[in-house]
Amino acid sequence: MAVPKKRKSKSKKFSRQAASDKRTMGQLSLCTQCGIEKLPHRICPSCGFYKDSVVVAEKIKTDKTS
């Protein structure tokens, strides 16, 4: 039976475990304002709402053709 000769450091162990956590995106929830899927406990990327209040104002697109 193979046995490691040296102990792995905490940083090596945690970086190995973190690689498997990055693979899954997690559950999506629906925005109560616009209905678009978003990550839970995050600001909605399309309307800027979080917990029934505006946190980020929508960016106004301006036409730059002159």
Is residue 8, in this structure, part of any structural domain at all? no
Is residue 9, in this structure, part of any structural domain at all? no
SS3 for 37? strand
18-46 mean pLDDT: 83
- For residue 58 the two structure tokens come to 């929508």
Is residue 22 pLDDT above 60, yes or no? yes
Instruction: Report the greatest alpha carbon distance in the chain.
Output: 74
Is residue 21, in this structure, part of any structural domain at all? no
Q: Which residue type, as a one-letter code, is found at position 33?
A: Q
Q: How many domains does the chain have?
A: 1
What residues make up the domain containing 39?
Answer: 26-57
- Predicted confidence at residue 61, as pLDDT, reads 60
- Predicted confidence at residue 21, as pLDDT, reads 72
51-57 mean pLDDT: 75
Q: In degrees to the nearest 10, what's the CA dihedral of 12, 14, 16, 17?
A: 160
Strands 29-30 and 37-38: antiparallel
